[in-house]
Structure 1
Amino acid sequence: MNIAIVGAGTSGISTALELARDGHQVTVYEQHNATAEDASFAPGGWLSPCALQTLSVPGGGMPLQRLLRNPHLLQGSTLIGGQTWRWLRQWKKREKQASKQLNRQLACDLQNLAAYSQSLRWQDSEDAAISAELKAGHLVILRTPQDCVFWKERLESLQHQGVPCSLVTAEQCQQLEPGLGQELPIAGALHFPSGESINPRLWTQQLRTQAQALGVNIHPGVRVDAVQNHPLGLKIQGRMYLHDSIVLCTGAHQDLLQHIGIQLPSLAIAGYSVTAPVRDALLAPRSSVMDWAQQTTISRMGQRVRITAGAELNSAADTPQQQPTLQRMYNLLNDWFPGGVQLSSPQLQIWKGTRLLLPDGLPAVGPSPHPNIWLNTAHGSHGIALAAGCARALADMLSHKETAIDMGAFHPHRFQHN
């Protein structure tokens, strides 16, 4: 089949690669001038476990009520309108069900897809000898005894999801991450020995090279103006380009979906990353550390360190950066790994990106209401973690094959009657 993909982020390139492996003729259209220029450019790269990040999945991460009480963690919550409040109410309802053990399936579905993606990434790494600065082993630092109790009660749930984890002491934290600051309050931490992080942009570029070797055509700097149903094609600068199938991997850019009447109950959330060179390898992080109370991750990426933080509701990537958020990130880097990072370096990189989130925390992967138009979008904070699994599953669906895992929870139509 002659298949078009709109969007050359991690999801789009992963989908192109899987479809090309199945023998399809694939063309990728990207409005930016290169791959991984939008939400895939500089996120944290936290691969697993998925359910701990800010607004990851209802009942998985920090409770929404706690986020709303702290304007440093969730910006814009005092200025939101009715549609956003409806979205937050849906999230909170699912969160309440999960806390009463009425609906913990969402976290399990997310973790199952993440585990499937992990197995596919490992296979790609072996076959093509690519690693993209992959690091293993995560610490989630808990500052207070109350947070230790909170997570001790949830360890069984994580283990039920197939996530190896343990509660470790402050002394064990220092052994695992010798560069940790000595003055910070550490009541304990969650240790995930199989947790992984990666450089998302580098990984995407390596996948692009593989895809192009299989004949995938990538057209950067091309904005798709509209999707047409009959005949099926894409309108670009007044011309129609016909295709047998179209896959929309457009992330936070939902105008093409809306143009053909697809309305996902989504929320755009912006976040920040700061990437700086390592000053002293012995004082820098070895892998990835999350400050649970501050909802911040610090990850080692080769000879650089990246910190991610901030969650701005209904904020676009091109809106002004919040300097207080950036200053908080600098302070946390200096506090957690003093002397480990060069924040004064001219190579310092500041990035703001927007991710799209649905009220159950799961992506939309599968057929749209229109024949031969497919969706692979709204991955929230998990684009890099879920990309391989979503791409392989969508390629199987498009070829009318059975998927390796049950993808029913991710069907784009699941909100139709909500």
Structure 2
Amino acid sequence: MRVAVIGAGLAGVTTAYELARDGHEVTVYERRSSIAAEGSFAPASVLAPGLWLAHAAVGGAGGLERMLARPAAWPWLWRRWRAARQPAHAARLACLRDLAVFSLERLQAIEAAHQLEHEHHAGVMALMRTPRHASRAQALLTKHAPLNLPARWLNADEARAAEPGISPKLPLYGALYWPAGQTANGRQFAHALRAEAVRLGVRFQFQQDVVRLTPAGGTRPQVELQAERRRDLGESSHSASSTGSTTIADEGPQTFDAVVLCSAEAASRLMAGAARPRVAWGHVHSVTAPRHVAADAGETFGPSGAVLDPAAGVTIGRMGDRLRVAGCASLGAPPSRPAPAALAHLYATLEATFPGATRTARAQPWVGRQDHLADGLPAVGRSPEKGLWLNIGHGAQAWAQAAACGRLLADQLAGRPAPFDCGALDPARLR
């Protein structure tokens, strides 16, 4: 089949790779000049099945509770609250677990098959900094024991032993811990996987903005691009062909057997009427900085894996010789540049948790957009429109879900059964 993938973030690259692995002829359209240039550029990339336990224990969802101060966010927050109280919520939690478990399996399989080099570290810990939060975390862990989540409870001493760099002054009453959890440089992985996708024949078309999807011959959709001619990454035609990237402007509409929308923005813009998914736009800040290297073997600076402070809405993750501090999630379009107040909160949380862990003079701040669906699950599968498929709505969980969702979509397109019950991901629920 000829398949177009719209969007070259982490979801788009993994989807293109899996489709090409199945033998499809794949073209990826990306409006930016590189992959992972928007929401996948510098967020926290953490994978831990059942990570929602940490946010539930402190009464929020990664800082989303702060959005209550914004009346414009109330309708979406109401839909989110109602979804969490519907009978199907238990099935959604099980699906979230299975997505993360399957994603970890796929990541490991891909890494083993291609010897991909990217920064990743094991161990994910969520700190409980009040007795009340610690009590709720333990109760939730017991309540959801039937889900077989690979998390365990650590008391304060055990948590400090697992992450010795945590400040001794930080109030700590225990932690949820995922030994097999993972933090990674998601953008680095996307670049490495793109090279493998190109070897499989995938064509990446950068600086190509899809402006319309129209039916052609019944069920075969056409992709119409912005008319003006653009350069592709500033590359010569020789270098473009060597990387699988070419410029195809002025060739007219392209017809495909299927189009996969891996960009919620593109889905909202290109899909019509009732088929258009209701997406809440949010944004998140991050700071990436060199890690302070200890002169003494007995000193530890920064986490060995990822450490979350769900009450502060901040994640501190290890990326090789750097640390990434991400958080301050909020609804609404991102500002044109990182907000000083958000960056100050990230720096303050980092210093309180891991004093002196980074060289902040060389820090790289970032703010990027994230898309959210009200029930907290992505939408993966056939859309109501003929020939169109969706892989959107990953929000802050792109690293935890992208590898699984790319494989699930490829299997659905081929008519193969899923390895677990993923009916909760059906885009039909968005109508």
Question: Corresponding residue for 2:83?
Answer: 94
Match of 2:7 in 1: 7
The aligned residue for residue 263 of structure 2 is 250
Is the counterpart of residue 389 in structure 1 residue 378 in structure 2? no
Contact 1:50 1:382 in 2 (8 A): no
Alpha-carbon separation, structure 1, partners of 2:49 and 2:292:
28
Map of 2:59 onto structure 1: 63
**Paired position in structure 2 for 1:300:** 318
Instruction: Kindly state the Cα deviation for residue 114 of structure 1 after the two structures are TM-superposed.
Output: 1.4
Match of 1:109, as an amino acid? C
Give the Cα separation in 2 of the matches to 1:142 and 1:92.
23
Distance 1:54 1:414 in 2: 27
Q: Report deviation, 1:405.
A: 2.1
Runs of 4+ aligned residues of structure 1 deviating over 6 Å after TM superposition are none
1:118 Cα deviation from its structure 2 partner: 1.1
- Picking from 279, 284, 288, the partner of 2:302 is 284
1:217 paired residue number = 203
- 1:203 matched to which residue of 2? 189
Q: Which amino acid aligns with 1:371?
A: K
Deviation at 1:24, TM superposition (A): 0.7
Counterpart residue type for residue 24 of structure 1: H
Structure 1 unpaired stretches of 5+: none
1:344 to 350, 361, 384: 361
Identity, % of aligned positions:
32
The Cα shift of 1:158 comes to 4.5
Q: What is the DSSP-based 3-state SS (H/G/I as helix, E as strand, rest coil) of the residue aligned with 2:345?
A: helix
Instruction: Using the TM superposition, name which of 304-313 and 166-175 deviates more.
Output: 166-175
1:76 Cα offset (Å): 4.8
Q: 2:161 aligns with which of 175, 199, 216?
A: 175
Q: What's the CA shift for 1:221?
A: 1.0
Quick check: 1:51–1:107 contact (8 Å CA) kept in 2?
A: no
TM-score w.r.t. structure 1 length? 0.90
Amino acid in structure 1 at the alignment position of 2:323 = V
Are 1:74 and 1:310, in contact at CA under 8 Å, matched by a contact in 2? no
After superposition, the C-alpha distances for 1:210-243 in whole angstroms (9 at most, x for unaligned) are 1001010001111111111234211113431111
CA RMSD of aligned residues (A): 2.1
Q: Is 1:316 equivalent to 2:333 in the alignment?
A: yes
Distance 1:331 1:123 in 2: 38
CA contact (8 A) 1:46 1:197 kept: yes
Alignment coverage as a number of residue pairs? 399
Contact 2:261–2:389 (Cα < 8 Å) also in 1: yes
Q: Contact 2:57–2:136 (CA<8 Å) still a contact in 1?
A: no
Alpha-carbon separation, structure 1, partners of 2:274 and 2:206: 26
TM-score (normalizing by structure 2) = 0.87
Q: How far apart are residue 49 of structure 1 and its match? A: 2.8
CA distance in 1 between counterparts of 2:345 and 2:3 reads 45
**Closer, same or farther in 2 for the Cα pair 1:29/1:103, shift >3 Å?**
closer
d(CA) in 2 for partners of 1:411, 1:103: 15
Distance 1:90 1:414 in 2: 13
User: For 1:294, what is the secondary structure of its paired residue?
Assistant: coil
Whole-angstrom CA distance in 1 between matches of 2:195 and 2:350:
34
Residue 167 of structure 1 deviates from its aligned partner by 1.8
Instruction: State the Cα deviation string for residues 279-300 of structure 1 (Å, max 9, x = none).
Output: 1252121111011211211000
Contact 1:226 1:236 in 2 (8 A): yes
The answer to whether the 8 A contact 1:118-1:385 is kept is yes
Deviation track 1:329-358 (CA, whole Å, cap 9, x = no partner) reads: 10111111112211112xx11111111111
* 1:360 counterpart = 2:375: yes
* Alignment check: 8 A CA contact 1:158 1:165 kept: no
